[in-house]
Amino acid sequence: MTTILAAQSADARAKGEALIRTADKLLCESWNERMWADGGPIDPSPTIDQAVNGTYPWLEIECSRCKTRREVDLATLHHPPTTFVHDLASRLRCSKCSKANRRPPATLLQLAQRARHPDRET
């Protein structure tokens, strides 16, 4: 009986985790939809944790000054996983512009499942 209950527990947990993953994935997709269709607002957005769990671990950004695009691997950021993706706009910096002593905010474009052109600088 104990093993059956333990197996049922594991089964229920796996189903629960799959449901959460689906919820996180849908949250990422609805945010992407909003960015594409209306260009914002960026707030509310998924958290880093939800984006990674929802299989959207890449964030495409564009420098608001020089328009250089790059992709950020959310899983490797040093920000707490509970940080909202929209809060990253003011925290992610363009490396080109920072060399010129400028710190323009990043424009957030969309969440992606894989990197199109991986950032080789990091």
Question: Of 6 and 66, which CB lies nearer to Zn ion in the complex structure?
Answer: 66
Closest CA to 83 of 113, 43, 39: 43
Residue 94 binding Zn ion, by CB under 5 A: yes
DSSP character string of 3-42: HHHHHHHHHHHHHHHHHHHHHHHHHHHHHHHHHHHH----
Closest CA to 115 of 67, 74, 71: 71
Total residues in contact with Zn ion, by rule CB under 5 A? 7
Residue 96 binding Zn ion, by CB under 5 A: yes
Burial of residue 88, with CB atoms counted within 10 A of its CB: 0-12 exposed, 13-18 middle, 19 or more buried:
buried
Residue 97 binding Zn ion, by CB under 5 A: yes
CB 118 to Zn ion: min, Å: 18
Q: Which residues, 11 to 70, sit near Zn ion by CB under 5 A? A: 63, 65-66, 68
CB 81 to Zn ion: min, Å: 27
Question: Of 61 and 111, which CB lies nearer to Zn ion in the complex structure?
Answer: 61
Binding site residues, Zn ion, CB under 5 A: 63, 65-66, 68, 94, 96-97
